[in-house]
Structure 1
Amino acid sequence: MASVKSTLTAIVFFALSAVAHAQTVEPGLAPEDPGSAVVEELLVVARAPGPAVWLVQKGEARLYVVGSAVPLPHQLAWKSPRLERALDQADLLLIPPRASVGPGQIAGFVLKGGAGLRQGLGERLEDGLPPDLKARFISGRTRAKKGAGEYKGWQPAIAGFLLLSDFRQAAGLSEAKPVSTIERMARARKVRIKAMGQYRMSAVVSAAGKLSRDAQLACLRDALDELEYDGGRPTTIGFDWARGDLASVRARYSASAAQRCLLRSPGGGKLLEQQIGQSAGALSSALSRPGVTVAVVDLAVLLPANGVLDQLKATGATVTSPPD
Structure 2
Amino acid sequence: MAASKSVLPALALSLILSTSALAQTAPPPTVELGPAPAQDESAVVAELTVVAKPPGPAVWLVEKDGARLYILGSAPPLPHQLKWSSPRLEKALDKASLVLVPPEASVGVTQIASFVLRFGAGLRQPLGKSLEDQLPPDLKARFVESRTQARKGAGEYKNWKPAVAGFLLLSDFRQAAGLSEAKPVSTVERMAKARKLKVKAVGQYRMSAVTTIASKLSADDQLYCLRVALDEIAYDGAHSTTIGQDWAEGDLASVRARYRASAAQRCLIHAPGGAELLEKGLVLTTDAMTQALKRPGVTVAVVDLGFLLPANGVLDRLKAGGATITSPVE
Deviations 1:224-269 (A, max 9, x none): 0011100001143401111111111112221321222222222121
Indicate whether 1:55 and 2:61 are aligned.
yes
Residue number in structure 2 paired with 1:4: none
CA positional deviation for 1:186: 0.3
Using the size of structure 1 for normalisation, the TM-score is 0.87
Residue number in structure 2 paired with 1:21: 6
Q: Residues 202 and 18 of structure 1: is their aligned pair in 2 closer, same or farther, counting only changes over 3 Å?
A: farther
Match of 1:153 among 147, 152, 159: 159
User: Contact 2:4/2:74 (CA < 8 Å) preserved in 1?
Assistant: no
Residue number in structure 2 paired with 1:191: 197
SS of residue matched to 2:60: strand
Deviations 1:40-93 (A, max 9, x none): 111111111110100000012000000111111000001111000000000100
User: Contact 1:98/1:199 (CA < 8 Å) preserved in 2?
Assistant: no
Indicate whether 1:136 and 2:142 are aligned.
yes
Residue number in structure 2 paired with 1:169: 175
CA positional deviation for 1:318: 0.2
Taking the aligned partners of 1:141 and 1:58, their CA distance within structure 2 comes to 49
Taking the aligned partners of 1:170 and 1:220, their CA distance within structure 2 comes to 19
CA positional deviation for 1:114: 7.1
Taking the aligned partners of 2:274 and 2:305, their CA distance within structure 1 comes to 20
CA positional deviation for 1:97: 1.9
Residue number in structure 2 paired with 1:34: 40
Residue number in structure 1 paired with 2:209: 203
CA positional deviation for 1:205: 1.9
Indicate whether 1:92 and 2:98 are aligned.
yes
CA positional deviation for 1:19: 8.6
CA positional deviation for 1:196: 0.6
Q: Residues 233 and 297 of structure 1: is their aligned pair in 2 closer, same or farther, counting only changes over 3 Å?
A: same
Indicate whether 1:275 and 2:275 are aligned.
no
SS of residue matched to 1:236: coil
Taking the aligned partners of 1:205 and 1:288, their CA distance within structure 2 comes to 34
Q: Residues 165 and 20 of structure 1: is their aligned pair in 2 closer, same or farther, counting only changes over 3 Å?
A: closer
Q: Residues 141 and 116 of structure 1: is their aligned pair in 2 closer, same or farther, counting only changes over 3 Å?
A: same
SS of residue matched to 1:56: strand
Counterpart code for 2:307: V
Deviations 1:75-127 (A, max 9, x none): 00011110000000001000012329xxxxxxxxxxxx972110000000000
Indicate whether 1:255 and 2:261 are aligned.
yes
Q: Residues 125 and 306 of structure 1: is their aligned pair in 2 closer, same or farther, counting only changes over 3 Å?
A: same
Residue number in structure 2 paired with 1:232: 238
User: Contact 2:68/2:293 (CA < 8 Å) preserved in 1?
Assistant: yes
SS of residue matched to 1:99: coil
Unaligned runs of 5+ residues in structure 1 are: 1-16, 101-112
Match of 1:64 among 70, 81, 106: 70
Unaligned runs of 5+ residues in structure 2 are: 13-33, 107-118
Taking the aligned partners of 1:130 and 1:237, their CA distance within structure 2 comes to 31
Taking the aligned partners of 2:234 and 2:275, their CA distance within structure 1 comes to 26
Instruction: Output the aligned Cα RMSD.
Output: 1.8
Residue number in structure 1 paired with 2:114: none
Q: Residues 20 and 283 of structure 1: is their aligned pair in 2 closer, same or farther, counting only changes over 3 Å?
A: farther
Matched-pair identity in %: 69
Residue number in structure 2 paired with 1:265: 271
User: Contact 2:213/2:271 (CA < 8 Å) preserved in 1?
Assistant: yes
CA positional deviation for 1:305: 0.6
User: Contact 2:3/2:75 (CA < 8 Å) preserved in 1?
Assistant: no
Taking the aligned partners of 1:53 and 1:160, their CA distance within structure 2 comes to 32
Q: Residues 66 and 293 of structure 1: is their aligned pair in 2 closer, same or farther, counting only changes over 3 Å?
A: same
CA positional deviation for 1:22: 4.0
Deviations 1:142-175 (A, max 9, x none): 0000000000000000000000000000000000
Taking the aligned partners of 1:152 and 1:128, their CA distance within structure 2 comes to 10
SS of residue matched to 1:210: coil
Aligned residues: 296
Q: Which moved more, 1:232-241 or 1:55-64?
A: 232-241
Q: Residues 114 and 311 of structure 1: is their aligned pair in 2 closer, same or farther, counting only changes over 3 Å?
A: closer
CA positional deviation for 1:31: 4.4
Counterpart code for 1:21: S
User: Contact 1:237/1:249 (CA < 8 Å) preserved in 2?
Assistant: no
Q: Residues 269 and 34 of structure 1: is their aligned pair in 2 closer, same or farther, counting only changes over 3 Å?
A: closer
